Amino acid sequence: MLKLFNTLTGRQEIFESIEQKNVRMYVCGVTVYDYCHIGHARSALVFDVLRRYLEYSGYAVTFVKNFTDVDDKIIKRAHEQGVSYDVVTRRYIQAYHEDMGKLGIRAATEEPKATEHIPAIVQLTEQLVNKGLAYVVDGDVYFEVSKYPEYGRLSKRRLEDLQAGARVDVDERKRHPMDFALWKSSKPGEPAWESPWGLGRPGWHIECSAMSIRHLSETFDIHGGGMDLIFPHHENEIAQSCGATGKEFARYWVHNGFVQINKEKMSKSLGNFFTIREVFEKSEWSEEITGEILRYFLLSTHYHGPLDFSDQALKEAKSALNGFYDLFNRLRENNGSGGSADGLLKAAVEQRRSSFVQAMDDDLNTPAAIAALQGLRSDVNKILEKGLSLEARKNARQEFRSMGNVLGLFQLDKWQFNIELAGTATVTGSVRADHLVRLTDTEIERMIAERNEARVKKDFKRADEIRNELAVRRIIIEDKPDGTTRWKR
């Protein structure tokens, strides 16, 4: 039974979906004016895992994740680059799919864009004006915060406590400093749509209300996003949506913690961020850090807490993941010991799977879930020594695949899978030393064959030379007892 921490109530609650077998969830995506950084990756990943776990638990999931494709920053970026705003948004939406794809983040069921929902946005805004919850000034429409008595219930703030205007100038035309724009009149040269209040474009918050209602109906199960969206974005969504429909909006609000650099929030404004593609493309990481490693690292901390990003942490994730792939390789090999320990495997799998499920049920405790998988790895290593049949070895691999799928791990047959997928990315734009130039599998295998010939002749000097050559290119080899050799990058 899944429990989730619900920001709305401040407590962990048992998750119960509105419909029996279908969960409807909405997650705030990104504003597409730049490449995504690791913080965006974490958020996308947390909800990708939530979705996968709901599916693992037997639900169908209708998952909506939006793109904010019209706003001030996009317009500014378009001006800087001298292109139309939709050139900017199209470019970064594509980049989003590329980057998140490398991380194994599945596309949502629906990925709506604000600009494709203008009529729904206008309609919702009109509804709020007609109900007296919003007012029009000079072609702008504002939501009147004091008309929604429950304003602040998500972020646990009282209107009086919000020292509005302390850090920004208050617009004199607003009735209350916290009133926010539903519709903004446009200046010449800006993207604009027709509306009852003249040419303009939507404010930031209204699109999520309009699109979630459109795609998931007025009340749905889960609404997610980063912690920084709690206020004002999600608070405003609640005010608008509940104000307009008179019904509850989302039932469970789930928010992920930040990625930090040296204990400080990673953000554009602080300038202390790494984009996802930088992690893959730049510096010495490029041959070494795959999407799966980044994914493992991002899941090694509970989603609710902060997560410090560092080179060392990534390397540790790689080492840990390496251990799993070493085992998978061994499972493919027949060590000729028969199936005397097959029965032990079943017991171990059942015990570890139960721990895994228990951890995931506990508010998506991925570190504890990973610990269960590590436990199974240790168990299987020991059992394998005692002797597993071919079928049992296949089953063991399948168990890792099945639980791993919830976390998006262990799906590949070969270590370094993503290098193949990302292929072109690893060589673009970076100067690399000769010794880092990538060897093909065939070249590696030829070198290993030569080394093994040398070993047979007891020419260990030559054998070690070849191993060193490979080592310099980050290829690690392991000699097996039968005289053959396995290798990995």
CB of 462 to RNA, least distance (A): 9
For RNA, the closer of residues 312 and 428 by Cβ is 312
Measured between alpha carbons, how far is 454 from 321 in angstroms, rounded to an integer? 32
Residue that has been written with the tokens 């969830």 in this structure: 25
If we measure between CA atoms, which residue out of 106, 89, 88 comes closest to residue 97?
Answer: 106
For RNA, the closer of residues 113 and 233 by Cβ is 233
Alpha helices in 339-487 (DSSP H): 342-361, 366-386, 390-407, 417-422, 441-456, 460-472
If we measure between CA atoms, which residue out of 321, 374, 384 comes closest to residue 352?
Answer: 374
CB of 57 to RNA, least distance (A): 19
For RNA, the closer of residues 387 and 426 by Cβ is 387
Which H or E run contains 141?
strand 140-143
Measured between alpha carbons, how far is 133 from 127 in angstroms, rounded to an integer? 9
For RNA, the closer of residues 264 and 450 by Cβ is 264
For RNA, the closer of residues 83 and 270 by Cβ is 270
- Torsion angle defined by CA atoms of residues 293, 295, 301 and 305, in that order, rounded to the nearest 10 degrees: 140
CB of 269 to RNA, least distance (A): 5
For RNA, the closer of residues 138 and 161 by Cβ is 161
CB of 424 to RNA, least distance (A): 26
CA distances from 43 to 49, 236, 351, 454 (A): 10, 20, 30, 51
* Residue 391 burial (C-beta neighbours within 10 Å; 0-12, 13-18, 19+): exposed
For RNA, the closer of residues 166 and 433 by Cβ is 166
Residue that has been written with the tokens 């401040």 in this structure: 10
If we measure between CA atoms, which residue out of 190, 218, 260 comes closest to residue 37?
Answer: 260
If we measure between CA atoms, which residue out of 123, 115, 14, 22 comes closest to residue 69?
Answer: 115
If we measure between CA atoms, which residue out of 75, 63, 67 comes closest to residue 95?
Answer: 67
For RNA, the closer of residues 278 and 308 by Cβ is 308
CB of 302 to RNA, least distance (A): 3
Q: Do 35 and 276 contact (CB within 8 A), yes or no?
A: yes
DSSP 287: T
Phi/psi for 17 (5° steps) reads: -80, 155
CB of 32 to RNA, least distance (A): 9
Residue that has been written with the tokens 């570890």 in this structure: 352
For RNA, the closer of residues 374 and 395 by Cβ is 374
Those residues with Cβ within 8 angstroms of residue 446's Cβ, 6 or more apart along the chain or in another chain = none
CB of 211 to RNA, least distance (A): 14
CB of 179 to RNA, least distance (A): 11
Q: How many C-beta neighbours within 10 Å does residue 217 have? A: 13
Straight-line distance from the first to the last Cα atom of the chain, in angstroms, rounded to the nearest whole number? 40
Measured between alpha carbons, how far is 290 from 32 in angstroms, rounded to an integer? 24
DSSP 110: B
For RNA, the closer of residues 110 and 308 by Cβ is 308
CB of 227 to RNA, least distance (A): 6
In the chain, the amino acid numbered 33 is Y
CB of 188 to RNA, least distance (A): 23
Q: Do 363 and 4 contact (CB within 8 A), yes or no?
A: yes
CB of 157 to RNA, least distance (A): 6
For RNA, the closer of residues 70 and 120 by Cβ is 70
CA distances from 450 to 445, 459, 471, 485 (A): 9, 11, 15, 11
Beta bridge mates, 202: 183
For RNA, the closer of residues 323 and 338 by Cβ is 323
CB of 71 to RNA, least distance (A): 7
